[in-house]
Amino acid sequence: MPSEKHHCLTEQMTTLLKAPALPHKTFIEGRTSYQDIYDLACGLVAALAAHDTPDQPVCLYTDDRALTAAAMLAAAAEGAPKLLLPYALNPNVLRDIHAGTGAIRVITDRTHDLPSPMVPVALAPRAFPLTGLTAASLDKVIVNLFTGGSTGTPQVWPKTVGNLFGETFFMVQNFSLSHEDRFVSTTVPYHIYGLLFAVLVPLVASASVTAGTSIFPNAITDAIARHQATLFAGVPVHYRALRGAAIQGANLRLAISSAGQLEPEDGAAFYRQTGVGVTEIYGSTETGGVAARNRANHETSLTPLESVETRIANDRLYVRSPYLSPNLETDAEGFFLTGDRVQVAADGGFVLMGRADGIVKVGGKRVDLEGVQACLKDLPGIVDALVLSLPAGRSRENEIVAVVDGDIDPAEIRQALADKVEPYALPRRIVTVDKIPMSAAGKYDRQAATNLFAGD
């Protein structure tokens, strides 16, 4: 990070932890003020410092946005322990985190869920001091995000003050956000995108946010109308759910989607309903935000964010960014090789071509799983599709399978697909479902989808 930007972010963090800019302003609609958030943060700092092992990490186990905001403020203070954010609100996940880290203390409003020997941290607020809290250094790791992989094995991504709050302040400035904005977000705050757009971005902007939004279309549209939302942050599956819904969004000026590629027609439908194009943010937990586009502005390729540098070599994307997790391996120039294949676009941006690990071999032939998936989605009557590669018996061969959301016989699907892909790329097994399994972050739950073939 250039020294000037580093100095600027240090000053911004000092100001943020000094006092709430608007103490009486509502953070959570109809429930929690900014002063309440800061008082709770002060209480957490005191409770965590009083413990016998202050250096031991602490789990943040909640989907409450006010509690998450207070915990993040506390974690950004000097001397506070780092937080561990689970990839799911599940006691078994807590057990795994305890086994892997030794963490015992949990900041939570779900005390009934806690497995032994984990214990809740006292949540008593304290009057926020006039001197404020002392901001930690920008390179301090304040959060470990645990993400569930496709195999079910969690990955750990540390995030520093500079990573998280640097991206937060950038997003606030980039989208010209302020205390006048009102957020409706369908994202969960224990995943990176939700942590940013359901908690940290509104917090830094002194904006207000809904307490929580159901994934059901009527609940989302009701929240947008009732809250007179100026910003909606969702994931692709929620934009899909909103197709055909009546959205009363007269105040909307910004819509954001992340955590996967948005289907063009889903974005177009939202634009027709609201007059607001959807800004797609491409990135990951480990990289933070990387690039963006808004198809309503005729942007077909992804343009790197102003704060991020990219390089393309051999159809692979490299990223250099202040938001990269510190445990990522980078080259001598600080670039990280992502897992995505890309193609350079004429306008200087890039187009995603699928995951590098989405290319598998079947009978010695290369198969692009995302290409097969795209062909499936184009078939009439299919709402959604997920294509997977499973090991074939004890051999090193792969077997292509598919989970399809659509009221079509699997034999008919295979017959229709046979005109679009090579015979070796045809899914050997197809399961039809009412809805493809999704994680809380709005991504395909690949492990749950794989389990559908366990007894087949």
What's the pLDDT at 274?
95
Q: How far is CA 335 from the centre of its chain?
A: 22
Opening angle at CA 192, ends 8 and 337, nearest 5: 80
392 phi, psi to nearest 5 deg: -95, 100
Q: What is the pLDDT of residue 396?
A: 58
Average pLDDT, the chain: 91
For tokens 């393309």, the residue is 312
Long-range contacts of 280-285 (CB under 8 A, 24+ apart): 280/256, 281/193, 281/256, 281/257, 282/258, 282/352, 283/258, 283/323, 284/192, 284/338, 285/145, 285/147, 285/157, 285/191, 285/192, 285/325
Q: What's the pLDDT score for residue 393?
A: 62
How far is 148 from 96, CA to CA, in rounded Å? Answer: 12
What type of residue is 427? P
* Contacting residues for 346 by C-beta, under 8 A, at least 6 apart: none
pLDDT at site 151: 43
Q: What pLDDT was estimated at residue 36?
A: 97
> What pLDDT was estimated at residue 251?
96
Task: Give me 30's structure tokens.
Answer: 């109809």
The Cα 448–Cα 444 span in angstroms is 9
Residue 2: predicted pLDDT: 53
Q: How far is CA 387 from CA 291, 360, 369, 401, 452, in A?
A: 26, 12, 6, 6, 12
Residue 82: DSSP 8-state: P
pLDDT under 70 in the chain at which residues?
1-3, 52, 54, 148-153, 364, 393-397, 455-456
pLDDT at 82: 94
User: Using an 8 Å Cβ cutoff, are 206 and 21 in contact?
Assistant: yes
pLDDT in tens, 128-165: 999 999 999 999 999 999 886 544 567 899 999 999 99
What whole-number distance in Å separates Cα of residue 82 and Cα of residue 60? 10
What pLDDT, on the 0 to 100 scale, is given for residue 419?
85
Answer whether 186's CB lies under 8 Å from 212's CB: no
% of the chain with per-residue pLDDT over 90 = 67
**Quick one: pLDDT at residue 1?**
44
